[in-house]
Amino acid sequence: MSSAGGGPRGSVRPERHVQTGRGGNGGSSSTRTKSAPPKRPSSSSAKSSVDSDNAADAIRVRVAVRLRPKNNEDFIEDGDFTSCVELQPEAKKLRLKKNNWSSELYKFDEVFTEGASQRRIYEAVAKPVVESVLEGYNGTVMAYGQTGTGKTYTMGRLGKDDPSERGIMVRALEDILASISSLTDYVAISYLQLYLESLQDLLAPDKINIPIVEDPKSGDVSLPGAAVVELRDIDHFNELLQFGEANRYAANTKLNTESSRSHAILVVHVQRSVKVKDENEGASVVSSMDDLLAASNHVPIVLKSKLLIVDLAGSERIDKSGSVEGPMLEEAKFINLSLTSLGKCINALAENSPYIPTRDSKLTRLLRDSFGGTARTSLIITIGPSARYYSETSSTILFGQRAMKIVNTVKLKEEVDYESLYKKLECQVDSLTSELERIQKIRQDEKAKIERKLRKQEESLAETKRTFTTKCENLEKENDCMTMEIKKLMEELNDERDQNKILSGRIVEMEMSLSQNKQQQLENSTYKKALSDSTQMYEDRIKALLEQVEKEQARCAYLELEMHGARQVVANNENSSKMQENGKVNELQKELHKLKEESRNEIQHLEAKNSELLSEKDLIYEELKSMQEKVMQEAKHRRSLEDEILKLKKVLSENSAVQLERGTSMLRTTSGVGGGAIYLPRTGKSRDTIPNQKDTISKIFEEVGLSNILALLKSEDLDVQIHAVKVVANLAAEDINQERIVEEGGLDALLSLLETSENTTIHRVTAGALANLAMNGSNQGLIMNKGGARLLANVANKNDDPQTLRMVAGAIANLCGNEKLHVKLKEDGGIKALVGMVRSGHADVIAQIARGIANFAKCESRAISQGHRKGRSLLMDDGALKWMVTSPTTFSASTRRHIELAFCHLSQNEENTRDIITSGGIKELVRISQESTRDDIRILAKKALNSNPAFLREIQ
């Protein structure tokens, strides 16, 4: 359009100067110096090479004409009238018929019938321009024609429903996007509307009156205010185009105008990386990074080019000479100054006028560097077939002709047959092409669909893989953990097995030692049996000897009687035969004397033997006593062994995870504190193992009689006293004997023995006997009234022998179980003595003390709850409370339970609060409430804690 047009910008592409001749109405041809036009692409349509022999054609504005098919209006208005245009596409000619006798023939670069496919239009009209744009030249494709003839159809059709209908804009962008490299190249668009000399941005509707800026040096035209959107892909372009169309529609509605009066201008900015070998060889396009790298020894350059696709406003108000006609003049002047100006420029260019009025309008200013000049330009003029619009069609055709600047048409030899065949084939090709495009589009859609599906599947596969891997990892971790745990458990199991083995070994040892013990006991009892048998035998023999002594004595008496008789006879005969019989008497006296002597001797012998037997009996008794003690010790030992076995069995069974009904046995053995144990001097001896001794004692009891036995308690002989008290203690263990013992003065005797004796054994056994008697409620009162508690306290204070203390503690413990006696028991020093025995430290003694205190506390608690008693506990003094609070945890379980129980009972009494707090008992109470092995004790402790606000305060 202008001689001032510069070469491609932004590049170092060398310019080639060629002489270009312009065709005119046989007029002068001008010589212009301009940049080299792009060479004809080899891929362009065959028909585009019609003028390939003419170098000048290479840069001439190429003009094609397209006839729109008849529409409904045409059919209605024109009926069967023939169209005013007749096309000769094979000759690229068009005949415009004014009437039946007048017509004109025009030649164009391309002539498209109403059936021409959009694809063919694109390939013939736009593709060469697109290719030259890709090579770095500016290019323009314009559609000119009357409103309703198909400009927008040709240029802007999106072809959403029918892909074969896609217009030049879409196809051009498809080609451009397919040809560039996304790595190195760049494609962006601006989309504008020119209306009433105002340039509006269709991609950014707020922008109106966008200025057109011209570089005074290069002559480059730019629109600095317009939005330039870089394209991602063809879908993106379609979206933008649709968006722009919507804006165009909205803008036109707002301005109360029609799109036919505005120009739509699509500006495509293309920037490509190319390499040039040297100054003379020119640039060659690189399509990828690889090419760029391969061409690293070449000079890298960037080509910038611009493609304008212009859908012009309707040409109906412009007359054939390009000026506005008729009454619309004024309006048109303003409304479409641009189109008028374009017409004038075309005319001026066509006439080779020295002045081209490009500055008259915005459109011509915008097209200045694209239309003519260095750029390749294609114009498609659209016409309708109806004769009603003859003048508009004629004007359009003349515009096209001027644009072609060709007046004379080259005559071609036309072959009629060939022509009709060509026509027919072309129709077929067109319909097949459309069909092919449709199928291709469907295929593409399907392909895209499948690709999308594939991508989704791949994504889901990747996701599955990821989750699977995570799962695997988790499982592996878990597996590791499990293996570790199993290993640990196996180790623990092995440890436990080893421990079990050791424990089993110990049990076997223990059992062996137990059975040995049993064996020994069996032997002992056999030995005892033999002893008692032999005792019996000796007793029998003593009895027999005594009988014999009696017999001898009787015989002696008889002999004395006989002797007396004989004396009488002698006296009677003395007088008669004194002399004769003197000798005889002497003889008899001698004989008697002899007999007496014999008897005496025999008695003496028997008496010696008797005393011998008696001493032997004493010896046997002594032996029996020592045996009994031995058996007692062994039984004790055995008990402790049994206890240990029990413990070990418990541990073993716990370890082996064998279910153990330990609760029941525990409860059975520990429940109750008030029953009172039976205290035999032969403590520790199992009832089963001593039937013989018991039998012996009951035999003694039967034969000697209780009164005799009780009498023996006062014997001078200590041994006799000891044995007697042992027998009494044993008898006192049986309920049936207790009453008789007390009735016959046994209790008094025992108490006096306790008071008077200094002997430890006496103390121990007497205390045991009293403990036994104190199991009976009525005896308890008697014992107390007779000062038993005081006596027991004395013994406790004087003695340190654990067994004696154990008996004393047991006796006091039994007395503790009677609430009525509590005051006196305390007054007589019983409690103090009981607590004092703690010093012994012996487990058995401690057990009895704990039992006693538990008995006491429990009875006291009951009495208080029943209202029999009030006030502070009698256990508070004498150190009992302190001992309970600080008692070591090493005590046996049952002892600890007794202490805990006692303490819990004391804690129930509010009067004891201060003592418990000051003694630091709260901590112990809390501990019991949490740690005691007995539920009832824990409950008692919790009850005490929760019901006493002072305790609660202390806890906080």
Minimal distance, residue 156 CB to Mg ion, in Å: 8
Does residue 389 touch ligand ADP according to CB under 6 A? no
For residue 813, give the nearest of 669, 680, 676 by alpha carbon.
Answer: 676
Of 23-31, 63-71, 324-332, 808-816, which part binds ligand ADP (CB under 6 A)? 63-71
Of 152-160, 385-393, 562-570, 587-595, which part binds Mg ion (CB under 5 A)? 152-160
Residues 6+ positions from 581 with CB-CB distance below 8 Å: 570, 573, 574
The number of angstroms, rounded, from the C-alpha of 455 to the middle of its chain's C-alpha atoms is: 33
**Among 9, 60, 62, 68, which residue sits at the site for ligand ADP (rule: CB under 6 A)?**
68
Residues 6+ positions from 94 with CB-CB distance below 8 Å: 65, 85, 86, 87, 88, 105, 106, 107, 108, 111, 397
Residue of minimal Cβ distance to Mg ion:
152
Alpha-carbon distance of 745 to 707, in angstroms, equals: 9
x/- track of binding to ligand ADP for residues 306-325 (CB under 6 A): --------x-----------
Burial (0-12, 13-18, 19+ Cβ within 10 Å), 88: middle
CA-only gyration radius of the chain, Å = 71
908 is in an annotated binding site: no
Alpha-carbon distance of 667 to 933, in angstroms, equals: 10
Nearer to Mg ion, 67 or 928 (CB): 67
Nearer to ligand ADP, 78 or 214 (CB): 78
20 is in an annotated binding site: no
* Contact by Cβ (8 Å): 292, 155: no
* Residue 145 binds which entry of ligand ADP, Mg ion, none, CB below 5-8 Å type-dependent: ligand ADP
Provide the 8-state DSSP code for 123: I
Nearer to ligand ADP, 7 or 148 (CB): 148
Instruction: Kindly determine how many residues on this chain lie close enough to bind ligand ADP according to the rule CB under 6 A.
Output: 14
Minimal distance, residue 95 CB to ligand ADP, in Å: 19
Residues 6+ positions from 697 with CB-CB distance below 8 Å: 727, 730, 731
* Residue 384 binds which entry of ligand ADP, Mg ion, none, CB below 5-8 Å type-dependent: none
Instruction: Kindly determine how many residues on this chain lie close enough to bind Mg ion according to the rule CB under 5 A.
Output: 2
Strand pairing class (139-145; 376-383): parallel
Alpha-carbon distance of 48 to 27, in angstroms, equals: 25
Minimal distance, residue 260 CB to Mg ion, in Å: 6
* Residue 68 binds which entry of ligand ADP, Mg ion, none, CB below 5-8 Å type-dependent: ligand ADP
Tokens of 318: 């412009």
Minimal distance, residue 12 CB to ligand ADP, in Å: 41
For residue 141, give the nearest of 165, 168, 115 by alpha carbon.
Answer: 168
* Residue 149 binds which entry of ligand ADP, Mg ion, none, CB below 5-8 Å type-dependent: ligand ADP
Alpha-carbon distance of 289 to 185, in angstroms, equals: 10
* Residue 171 binds which entry of ligand ADP, Mg ion, none, CB below 5-8 Å type-dependent: none
140 is in an annotated binding site: no
* Residue 69 binds which entry of ligand ADP, Mg ion, none, CB below 5-8 Å type-dependent: ligand ADP
Residue of minimal Cβ distance to ligand ADP:
150
Position 36: which residue type? A
For residue 320, give the nearest of 343, 304, 337, 290 by alpha carbon.
Answer: 343
Alpha-carbon distance of 508 to 495, in angstroms, equals: 20
**Among 382, 393, 394, 757, which residue sits at the site for ligand ADP (rule: CB under 6 A)?**
382
* Residue 148 binds which entry of Mg ion, ligand ADP, none, CB below 5-8 Å type-dependent: ligand ADP
115 is in an annotated binding site: no
**Among 48, 147, 341, 683, which residue sits at the site for ligand ADP (rule: CB under 6 A)?**
147
Nearer to ligand ADP, 192 or 710 (CB): 192
Of 64-72, 335-343, 589-597, 737-745, which part binds ligand ADP (CB under 6 A)? 64-72
Alpha-carbon distance of 372 to 137, in angstroms, equals: 12
529 backbone dihedrals φ, ψ, rounded to 5°: -60, -45
145 is in an annotated binding site: yes
The two most distant CA atoms of the chain are separated, in Å, by: 238
**Among 44, 83, 152, 164, which residue sits at the site for Mg ion (rule: CB under 5 A)?**
152
146 is in an annotated binding site: yes
* Contact by Cβ (8 Å): 357, 345: yes
Alpha-carbon distance of 400 to 392, in angstroms, equals: 12
Half-sphere exposure of residue 538, counting CA atoms within 13 Å on the CB side? 18
Minimal distance, residue 429 CB to ligand ADP, in Å: 16
Alpha-carbon distance of 286 to 304, in angstroms, equals: 14
Bridge partners of residue 478, in order along the sequence: none
x/- track of binding to ligand ADP for residues 148-177 (CB under 6 A): xxxxxx------------------------
Nearer to Mg ion, 151 or 317 (CB): 151
| Per-residue CA distances from 44 to 171, 641, 920 (Å) | 14, 117, 111
Minimal distance, residue 28 CB to ligand ADP, in Å: 35
Minimal distance, residue 65 CB to Mg ion, in Å: 17
x/- track of binding to ligand ADP for residues 9-48 (CB under 6 A): ----------------------------------------
Burial (0-12, 13-18, 19+ Cβ within 10 Å), 51: middle
Does residue 89 touch ligand ADP according to CB under 6 A? no
Nearer to ligand ADP, 390 or 538 (CB): 390
Any idea what the Cα angle at residue 192 is, between residues 188 and 194, rounded to 5°?
155
Residue 509, helix vs strand vs coil? helix
Alpha-carbon distance of 220 to 228, in angstroms, equals: 17
Does residue 260 touch ligand ADP according to CB under 6 A? yes
Nearer to ligand ADP, 131 or 392 (CB): 392
Range 556-595, binding ligand ADP (CB under 6 A)? none
Bridge partners of residue 193, in order along the sequence: 200, 264
Minimal distance, residue 194 CB to ligand ADP, in Å: 15
Tokens of 873: 């506990």
Of 77-85, 146-154, 268-276, 566-574, which part binds Mg ion (CB under 5 A)? 146-154
Minimal distance, residue 71 CB to ligand ADP, in Å: 6
Annotated binding-site members: 145-152
Binding residue ranges for ATP: 145-152
Residues that bind Mg ion (CB under 5 A): 151-152
- Interface with ligand ADP by CB under 6 A: which residues? 68-69, 71, 145, 147-153, 260, 314, 382
